[in-house]
Structure formats: C-alpha cells, structure tokens
C-alpha cells in the first residue's frame, strides 16, 4: 500500500451555538489512496459539507475540529495557519457547488488560474499564462487562448465549472475535494464534468473526496463510499458493497428512495374519446421582449400539446429549454406572443384581468423553491387559505375548517397553521405549497420542479403523496422536471423540450424505451443510474452514442 | 432529529396549552400584535410616549390659530409662555448671581434648613422670567406636533410612491422617480426658509404639513428598491394565481416584507424632522418667538450650559426621551413583523440554529 493522500481519524466537527457545542460530524475515520475516489453521501444537514470544509480549516469561527487529518502525512488540524495556507490550493484543492458564485465575477478566468499558479509555484507571468492556457485545454474549454481572457459571465454553467476545475487543478493537487460539483448543472453537462473528473484522476493520480447527495453520481465515480446521517458515519465500504450489499438499514432506505430509471411499471390512462382537454396549447410562441441592448429572446416556439382530465404529462428538458416558461404561461403569468392556450375550454392568452382570475380558479401551481414561494411574513394557514378567501368561497370559521382539511390532506399537523414558513423543513414547506395549489380543487395542477430542492427520501415521500392525491382528486397535472427518473414515476405521457421547441412527445414507455429523436436519446443516456455496474455499461453506451455523431 | 424534539417540548411549555391555542387560526395582524406586546421595552416606550404626550399637551394646553383668531384651551399648569414674572426670576438666584434658578427643593428642611416645596418656578425660568416648565412643555408640544405630522406624511407618501413605482415598474416607475429626483435636488433648508417665511406665522401645523410634503424622497427610494427585488419572488406569483389583486399583493404580501426598511428610515425621518424644525427656527423661519420649540430652546440657550444648566437639560431630556422611545417602538415593530426574530418568544426556538450552521 502506498501512503494515503488523506487519512482522517477520530475526526469531530462541532459548532458553538447559543452556549452549546452542537456536533456536526462525530468520530469520522476514512482514508483516500492516490487515484481513488471516496464519496461521502447523505441528506442535507447530515454534516457532509461541514466535515469536508473542516478538513482544511475553512469553517466559520464558531466551529471547532478535533481528531487528526493527515494530508500526505502532515496533520492539518495541528498545522500553523501559514502551513495550512501553503497546503490549500497546492496539495488540497476545492471544487464548489456553485461555479457561478465560486468564481470572482470581476476577474477573467485566466487571471484566477494565474493567481494560484504564481502564488504557489512562483511562476513568472508568462510561464503562468502558458500553463493556464494548457490547463483550460486540459479541462476541455474550447479555444483556450481566447477563453483565458473571458469573464465568468461570458461562459456557460458547464464551462464555468470546467474553469473552476482548472483553477483547482492548477498546482496538481494530491487531493481534490469536490462539494456537490454537478448539482447545479444539467444532466448532459453533468455527465461531461464527471467524465472529465474521472479522466483527470487517472492522468494526475490525485485522490478525490466527492460530496454529493446524488446516488447516480456516486455510482458513476466512487471507489469507496461513506454514508452519513446526523453527523455520524453510518456505513463505510467499497462502492460495490454499498450498492449491492448494504448492511445498515439507513443505507438501504436511502437506496430504495432513489428513483431508478426504468424500474417503474407501466402507467396507462384510458382517455375517453369525447373527453375535452383541460389544458390545450396550440402553436404557442412566447417571447421575452427586447430590453435596452439585450435583444428579444424566444423562450418557446410553436409548442402544442393537450392534457386530458386525470392525466399527468411530464415535461422534461435542460435548464433554459423553456419548460418553466410554458408552465407559467399556462396559468397566465407570462403573456403569449402568438398561439392559443386554453384552460378548461377558456382562452387564457390575452384574457383580461377579470377573466384571468376566474380561469385561474381551475388551476393550481406548485413552485420549484418552497422557500421562495411562500410569503415569509405570512403564517402558512393564511397562505393556504388565501385562494379560498379571495375566491369568496368562505371566510372566518368556515375558512378555518377548510384550511384544517387541506392540512390533513397533505398530512401536516393542524397546529402548524400559525407557523411561519421558515419554521418548517423543506419537505413540509413543499406540502404547504401543494395544499395551497389544491385549495380550490383545480382541474389542472402545474408542478414546476417541485422536488428539485428536496432530499431523496423526502422527495420519495412527496411523490407518493402527490400520486395519492392525484388518485383521490383526479386532477390533471403538468409535471415539469429536469429529473427524468422522477418524471418516469408519475407521468402517463412525457414531453421533451430543447431550446424552446418541443422535441418529442409521447406515451411514457415509448419515450423512455424507444426514443425517436437524437436529443432524447442523449438526454436519457446522460442520466446516471445508482448502480455501479450498470452505470459503467451506460457510460460506455453513451460514449458510443456520442461517437456515432450525436449532438 | 435531536434538535427538533427539544424544540417541540420546550415550545409546548412556553405556549401553555398548545392543543387548544395553536389550532385556532390567527391572522398575520393578530400574530404581529401579540409579538409586539411581548416586546417589553417597546411596549414600555409606547406607554411612556403616550404618557409624555398627554403630560405635555395637558400641561400647556392647546394654542392654535393666528394672533387675531386664537383657538385656546388652557392647561393645568398655571403659567403660559406669555406670562412674564421678572421679579420671581430675580429673587431666585444661584451659581453666584445667576437669576431664574429652579425653585424646587426636594431636600427636607432638617438637612439644609430650607423647607421642601416646588416654589413658583420649579425648574427655573429664563432670563426675562418666563417659566421654564411652560416653555419646555410648549416646546415639546410643538416638536411632537411637527414630528408626528412630518413623520406621518413622509412615511405615507414615501411608502406609497416607492411601492407603486417598484411594483409596477416601467413607465410609472420612470415618471415617479423623476418626480422624486426633482424633489431631491431642491435644497431642504432653502425650501424650508421659503415655506417658513410664507407659512411660519400660521403656526406650527401648516409648517409641519409643508415640511412633510418634502420629506418622503429617501424613503420612497428605499421602498422602491425593496419592492423591485420582492416582486420577483415566487410568492408574489403564487398570490397572483390565488387571485389576489395588485392592491392586495402590494399591501398584504410585499409591504410586510419591506417593513424593516420603512421603520428604519421612518425613525430617522422622525428625528430628522425635529432637527429640520430646530434648524429652521434657529434661522428664524420656523417657530417664531414668543412661541417656542425644543430645538429653538436648545439653540437659544446652548451658551448657558455651564452657568444655567437647567436651561439646557430639560429640553435636551425631552428630545432624548422622545427620540429614544420612538426608536424602541420602531425596534419592537420591526421585530414583530420579522418572523425570524425570535428573541421575544424565549430561548426555545433558538435550538434550531445548529441545523442552519451545518447546511
């Protein structure tokens, strides 16, 4: 055995809050060999990020760490701050979750790489610039000699993350700590970034500490896995053992909660011949108008589809494909440039304010971010009751009982009604969101990425609840998501969007098993599956697909 | 999780009988009121300010109208600012010949020989023998009037104009903000001088109204900025889908979220009003002698600080008391509107914070 790049033993992280030490990570032991990847998985709040930041003393002032953290044999927790500084960036590099915020917007990406190089390696400006160009080439940024002078806002999300990786790799670090490196990215971009990281690991022989909640990404990358829950190590084993022979019940639950592509039985829905669609889009064009020097942007082009009573249509696509725009236009939040959108037979495009609000009584919407979609200054009982109150259906005591019913429906305690949104967890907030959307018994529910902010186990419970409610109340639903595995669980039919155009629409199984369009094939191939052996096969299949001229 | 259980049991203790109390649905207004009344300092300040206002107004009475058509209600204090008592002032000397000293003696006779009592001018009189208590209460009355009127007008116009501009945007925003700019480039003191010389002789109320009409611009800017960010939040869309009108969205959904800004700059506006008024009075455009205001009293007698400190202390104490209680009330209001502010509920909810730190 060679010397491990990282050896952590009896490692604890605590936070000092209001006169108590609250443990964020307890008694962790693990090590990473050169060229290997250890993945730390766990749900939000399990302490995975805190423990990784604590390794190099990057935590806030109210934190303390204990135990031992050895990087190439040097104990980081006992090292002086100047020693730590010389290790950071040189021996240990970080890749952060949000490339948009981790890169400094006022400097070119070239400058940010050169800075690291000159600091740690003492290179001259010219040599550093040459090396920076080389690095950008290595991480696959097109045309590196030109890109080096670009500012972060001139790059796409995936390119920014590549630039971040280039900064991290500048000094050939022995250990790369990647904190949710692909969470903010689309699946196809994610697949590219993961390919890049895998490739680099072999080239540079660095160890990677990967922190993620996405079991698919873990299956794609990890050699070893450490599962965390509430600050404790639940299980630490090889990837093969964790995925195929999980010992601990929490690991088993976690794996069971992950939606697996292609594992949900057929869902069919008999649509009666005479049934009229609840939502019908015909040749819809939506344009964000010109603002100053920014030209007009066509967000949706010639989109047509119908949703029938009781049907769930899954709308998938990458960020910027226009799926959210379609969802918002369907309830009249965004004006339509041309074409028609009708809800229960009434035209919503261009409808006057009064008519709009009467049509909206047939609709409900669940937003992506439960933290932002509930008024922080309004107790949730009032948020839920607002549609009923404004529709003039009930008020006072009667409204109170209706709100109680709605809370019961989404399985929240009635006593929560006077709580403010911030006092609820993410999953509970999203339940509030759904109960508000269902307050008026809508014919159609628009669900705009309702699960993207939730942990997998909470997501699984939320999807169960949504299915149950849909079965009971039989509303139609436009379910917008970037996660194809989630869409698969719910949908009867699936529509795929790209660059504002509807690429493909059809019954669920046809889209998933026999996609006609190349884009759909690429999209499906990029989804990582939480099973290392299968994911390896899929990866190769995807490489073949791309090589055959895809994309 | 471990933290949560703790929270539940503790909050159950603090709220008494949660089963009966919590299920009863409370509106936003009710919850805010409850929270405000739990803020002890703010409630104390509120009652203190009410007490002070009643004391001041009842003591000096109400004197409105012009010289030719006075509207007068006499207060319980026997002397008014127009009553001059030069003899009394001369008789009460201290500090080596300084006249008009306070006649109040709180030390019993067996200690210093002179009997306890208030005397004719308990807190002294000015150099020509006008009772100082009458001057201070009248001054406080004037200053409070100015403050309340300027504050109310400034906050009202600032909030409404800022909210409308920020919420609707586009052409409405452009027009309203250019109007705001025009008001902003007008120098306040020059404007005050013009207003003062034109309306000053009508008494303090018209002056305060005119000042209030020129005090809203800063607040409008702040509120607009706040609205610009808040209107993009998803809960505004959610309210719109629920069928809320623009008015409801502005006042029920966005405004409570902008209350922090309004209160902070509102309290500044109130204390600024006192300063503007005293500056104008100092220049001779505001409140005119023989009428007084607190600012005028302080600026007139700022040189007497060492020889006749009572001329300085009393109006100063009134200004500080008024400004402080307004600040504390503002503090309480802001906390009441902010659901994250949990100081008043007790320690129970604070246990949640380590979760935040971990994320």
- pLDDT of B346: 38
The closest alpha carbon to B278, from B301, B258, B255, belongs to B301
Is residue A471, in this structure, part of any structural domain at all? yes
Q: Is residue B35 domain-resident? A: no
Task: Give the chain A residue nearest B26 (alpha carbons).
Answer: A418
Q: What pLDDT, on the 0 to 100 scale, is given for residue A259?
A: 80
Residue among A6, A43, A13 at smallest CA distance from A28: A13
**What's the CATH code of the domain at B284?**
1.10.3720.10
Residue B162 is predicted with a pLDDT of 94
CATH number for position A106: 3.40.50.300
Query: Which residue from B minimizes the CA distance to A13?
Result: B358
User: ipTM beyond 0.95?
Assistant: no
The pLDDT value given to residue B22? 45
Which chain A residues are closer than 8 Å to B359 by Cβ?
A: 44-45, 49
Residues 6+ apart with CB under 8 A from A4: A31, A32, A33, A34, A70, A207
pLDDT tens digits, A360-379 = 888 889 988 877 888 888 88
pLDDT of the residue at B175: 95
Residue A101 has what pLDDT?
Answer: 77
Is A265 inside any structural domain? no
Tell whether A387 is within 8 A of chain B (Cβ): yes
Q: What is the mean pLDDT of chain B?
A: 77
Q: Is residue A66 part of a domain?
A: no
User: CA A507, CA A513: separation in Å to the nearest integer?
Assistant: 10
Most confident of A111-125, B95-109, B272-286: A111-125
% pLDDT > 70, chain B: 77
Q: How far apart are alpha carbons A421 and A435 in whole angstroms?
A: 14
For residues A320 and A390, membership in a common domain is answered with no
Domain boundary residue, one of A408, A439, A470: A439
Residues A448 and A424 in one domain: no
B58 — pLDDT class (breaks 50, 70, 90): confident
B144: in domain: yes
Q: Is residue B48 part of a domain?
A: no
Expressed as residue numbers, the domain containing A323 is 274-362+443-511
**Domain total for chain B?**
1
Those residues of chain B whose CB sits closer than 8 Å to some CB in chain A are: 1-3, 18-19, 22-28, 31, 233-235, 237-244, 248, 252-253, 256-257, 259, 337-340, 347, 349-355, 357-359
Residue A165 lies in a domain: yes
**Integer Cα distance of B298 and B302 in angstroms:** 6
Most confident option among A16-25, B283-292, B313-322: B313-322
Band of the pLDDT at A270, cuts 50, 70, 90? Answer: low
- Give pLDDT, residue A140: 80
Residue A481 above 80 pLDDT? yes
Q: Are residues A228 and A310 part of one domain?
A: no
Whether A433 and A467 share a structural domain: no
- Using an 8 Å CB-CB cutoff, list chain B residues near A378: 28, 252-253, 256
Residue A14 C-alpha, separation from nearest chain B C-alpha, in angstroms? 9
Q: Counting runs of H as helices and runs of E as strands, what totals does chain B give?
A: 17, 4
Q: pLDDT grade, residue B156 (50/70/90)?
A: very high
Domain co-membership, A448 together with A435: no
Of the residues A375, A385, A391, A449, the best mutation for testing chain B's interface (the one with the most B CB atoms within 10 Å of its CB) is: A375
- DSSP-assigned letters across all residues of A327-367: HHHHTTSS--SEEEEEETTEE-TT--HHHHHHHHTTEEEE-
Q: How far is B269 from chain A (nearest CA, A)?
A: 25
Q: Which residues of chain A from 299 to 358 reach within 8 Å of chain B, CB to CB? A: 328, 331, 333, 357
A297 and A237, same domain (yes or no): no
What is the crossing angle of helices A380-390 and A397-409, to 10°? 120
CB contact under 8 A, A420 and B339: yes
Q: Which residues of A touch B238 (CB under 8 A)?
A: 365, 367, 373-375, 383, 433, 436
Query: Do A394 and A415 lie in a common domain?
Result: yes
CB contact under 8 A, A390 and B242: yes
Q: Are strands A312-317 and A476-481 parallel, antiparallel or unpaired?
A: parallel
Q: Per-residue pLDDT tens for A159-217?
A: 888 888 888 888 888 888 988 888 777 788 888 888 888 888 888 888 899 988 888 88
Structure confidence at residue A272 (pLDDT): 63
User: What pLDDT is attached to residue B45?
Assistant: 92
**Residues on chain A touching B339 (C-beta within 8 angstroms):** 376-377, 420-423
Q: Is the pLDDT of residue B209 over 60?
A: yes
> Is B294 among the domain residues?
yes
The pLDDT value given to residue B153: 94
> Considering Cα of B124, then B126, then B130, then B132, what sign does the dihedral take?
negative
Average confidence (pLDDT) over B149-169? 93
Q: What is the pLDDT of residues B340-357, one digit of tens each?
A: 665 433 333 333 444 444
pLDDT beyond 80 at A550: no
pLDDT digits (tens, 9 = 90+) for A76-88: 888 888 888 888 8
Structure tokens at A299: 């967000």
Return the pLDDT at A428: 85
3-state secondary structure of A177: strand
For B336, the closest chain A residue by CA position comes to: A377
**Which of A396, A419, A439 lies at the terminal end of a domain, its last residue?**
A439
Which residues in chain A are closer than 8 Å to B352, comparing Cβ atoms? 423
Cross-chain Cβ contact B257/A375 below 8 Å = yes
At residue B5, does pLDDT exceed 50? no
Which member of A45, A49, A333 has the closest CB to residue B237?
Answer: A333
Three-class SS of residue A178?
A: strand
Residue B48's pLDDT is what?
Answer: 94
The CA distance from A349 to A97, in Å, is 39
Instruction: Classify residue A250: in a domain, yes or no.
Output: yes
Q: Would the pLDDT of A276 be above 90?
A: no
Clarify whether residues A304 and A426 are in a common domain.
no
Q: Is residue B49 part of a domain?
A: no
pLDDT of residue B50: 93
Residue B276 has pLDDT above 90, yes or no: no
Q: Are residues A487 and A356 in the same domain?
A: yes
In angstroms, the CA B263 to CA B257 distance is 11
Q: Are A37 and A205 a contacting pair, CB within 8 Å?
A: no
Do B237 and A365 count as a contact with CB atoms less than 8 A apart? Answer: yes
Q: Is residue B178 one of the residues assigned to a domain?
A: yes
Both A132 and A37 in a single domain?
A: yes
Asked if residue A128 belongs to a domain, the reply is yes
> What is the pLDDT, as a whole number, of residue A265?
67
Q: Residue B49: what pLDDT?
A: 92
Residue B325 domain boundaries? 132-350
A50 vs B contacts (CB less than 8 Å): 357-358
The overall average pLDDT reported for chain A is: 85
Tens digit of pLDDT for each residue in A421-450?
Answer: 888 877 888 889 888 988 888 889 999 888
Structural domain total, chain A: 3
Same domain, A123 and A111: yes
Specify if B302 maps to a domain. Answer: yes
> Does residue B16 fall inside a structural domain?
no
Per-residue pLDDT reduced to its tens digit, B88-103: 766 777 766 666 677 7
Is the domain of A115 the same as that of A218? Answer: yes
Least confident of A216-220, A270-274, B157-161, B223-227: A270-274
Is A14 a member of any domain? no
- The partner residue sitting opposite B234, judged by closest CB among A369, A403, A414, is A369
Interface touch A15/B357, C-beta < 8 Å? yes
């Amino acid at each position: 055995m060679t010397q491990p790049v990282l050896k952590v033993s009896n490692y604890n992280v605590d936070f000092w809050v209001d006169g108590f030490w609250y443990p964020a990570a307890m008694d962790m032991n693990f090590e990473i060999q050169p060229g290997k990847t250890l993945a730390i998985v766990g749900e939000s709040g399990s302490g995975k990020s805190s423990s990784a930041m604590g390794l190099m003393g990057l935590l806030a002032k109210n934190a303390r760490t204990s135990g031992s953290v050895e990087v190439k044999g040097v104990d980081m927790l006992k090292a002086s701050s100047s020693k730590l500084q010389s290790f950071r960036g040189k021996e240990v590099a970080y890749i952060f979750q949000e490339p948009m915020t981790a890169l400094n917007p006022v400097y070119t990406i070239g400058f940010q790489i050169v800075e690291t190089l000159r600091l740690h390696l003492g290179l001259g400006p010219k040599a550093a610039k040459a090396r920076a160009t080389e690095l950008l080439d290595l991480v696959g940024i097109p045309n590196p000699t030109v890109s080096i002078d670009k500012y972060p806002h001139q790059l796409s999300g995936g390119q920014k993350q590549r630039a971040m990786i280039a900064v991290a790799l500048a000094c050939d670090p022995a250990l790369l700590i990647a904190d949710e490196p692909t969470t903010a990215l689309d699946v196809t971009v994610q697949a590219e970034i993961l390919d890049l990281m895998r490739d680099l690991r072999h080239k540079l022989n660095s160890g990677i500490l990967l922190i993620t909640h996405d079991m698919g990404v873990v299956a794609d990358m990890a050699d070893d896995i450490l599962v965390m829950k509430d600050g404790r190590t639940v299980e630490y084993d090889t990837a093969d053992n964790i995925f195929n022979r999980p010992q601990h019940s929490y690991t088993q639950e976690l794996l069971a909660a992950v939606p697996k592509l292609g594992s949900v039985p057929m869902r069919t829905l008999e649509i009666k011949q005479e049934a009229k669609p609840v939502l019908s889009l015909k040749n819809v064009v939506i344009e964000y108008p010109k603002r100053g020097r920014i030209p007009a942007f066509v967000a949706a082009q010639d989109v047509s589809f119908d949703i029938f009573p009781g049907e769930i249509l899954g709308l998938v696509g990458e960020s910027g494909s226009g799926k959210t725009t379609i969802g918002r236009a369907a309830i009249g939040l965004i004006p339509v440039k041309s074409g028609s959108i009708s809800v229960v037979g009434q035209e919503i495009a261009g409808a006057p304010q009064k008519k709009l609000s009467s049509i909206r009584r047939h609709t409900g919407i669940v937003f992506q971010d439960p933290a932002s979609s509930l008024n922080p200054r309004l107790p949730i009982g009032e948020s839920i009751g607002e549609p009923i109150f404004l529709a003039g259906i009930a008020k006072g005591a009667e409204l109170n009982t209706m709100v109680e019913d709605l809370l019961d429906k989404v399985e929240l305690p009635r006593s929560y009604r006077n709580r403010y949104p911030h006092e609820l967890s993410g999953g509970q907030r999203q339940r509030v969101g759904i109960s508000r959307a269902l307050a008026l018994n809508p014919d159609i529910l628009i669900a705009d990425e309702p699960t993207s902010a939730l942990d997998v186990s909470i997501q699984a419970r939320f999807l169960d609840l949504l299915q149950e409610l849909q079965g009971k109340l039989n509303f139609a639903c436009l379910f917008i998501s970037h996660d194809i595995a989630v869409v698969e669980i719910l949908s009867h039919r699936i529509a795929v969007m790209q660059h504002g155009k509807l690429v493909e629409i059809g019954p669920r199984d046809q889209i998933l098993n026999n996609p006609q369009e190349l884009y759909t094939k690429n999209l499906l191939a990029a989804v990582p599956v939480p099973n290392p052996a299968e994911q390896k096969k899929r990866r190769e299949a995807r490489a073949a697909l791309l090589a055959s001229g895809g994309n | 999780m471990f933290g949560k259980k703790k929270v539940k049991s503790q909050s159950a203790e603090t709220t008494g009988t949660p089963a009966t109390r919590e299920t009863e649905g409370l509106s936003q207004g009710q919850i805010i009121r409850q929270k405000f009344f739990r803020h002890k300092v703010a409630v104390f300040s509120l009652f203190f300010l009410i007490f002070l206002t009643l004391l001041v107004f009842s003591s000096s009475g109400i004197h409105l109208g012009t010289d030719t058509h006075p509207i007068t209600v006499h207060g319980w204090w026997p002397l008014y600012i127009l009553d001059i008592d030069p003899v009394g002032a001369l008789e009460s000397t201290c500090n080596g010949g300084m006249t008009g000293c306070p006649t109040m003696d709180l030390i019993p006779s067996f200690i210093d020989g002179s009997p306890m009592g208030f005397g004719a001018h308990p807190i002294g009189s000015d150099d020509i023998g006008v009772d100082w208590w009458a001057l201070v209460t009248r001054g406080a009355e004037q200053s409070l009037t100015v403050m309340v009127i300027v504050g109310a007008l400034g906050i009202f116009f600032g909030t409404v104009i800022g909210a409308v501009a920020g919420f609707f945007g586009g052409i409405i925003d452009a027009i309203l903000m250019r109007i705001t700019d025009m008001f902003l480039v007008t120098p306040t003191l020059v404007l005050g001088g013009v207003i003062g010389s034109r309306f000053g002789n009508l008494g303090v109320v018209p002056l305060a109204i005119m000042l209030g009409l020129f005090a809203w611009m800063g607040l409008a800017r702040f509120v607009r900025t706040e609205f610009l960010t808040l209107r993009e939040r998803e809960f505004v869309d959610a309210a719109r889908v629920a069928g809320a009108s623009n008015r409801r969205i502005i006042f029920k959904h966005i405004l409570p979220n902008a209350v922090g800004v309004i209160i902070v700059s509102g309290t500044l506006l109130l204390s600024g009003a006192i300063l503007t008024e005293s500056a104008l009075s100092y220049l001779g455009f505001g409140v005119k002698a023989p009428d007084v205001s607190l600012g005028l009293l302080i600026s007139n007698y700022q040189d007497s600080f060492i020889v006749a400190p009572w001329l300085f202390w009393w109006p100063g104490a009134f200004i500080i008391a008024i400004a402080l209680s307004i600040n504390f009330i503002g503090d309480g209001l802001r906390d009441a509107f902010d659901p994250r502010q949990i100081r008043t509920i007790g320690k129970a909810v604070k246990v949640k914070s380590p979760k935040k730190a971990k994320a």
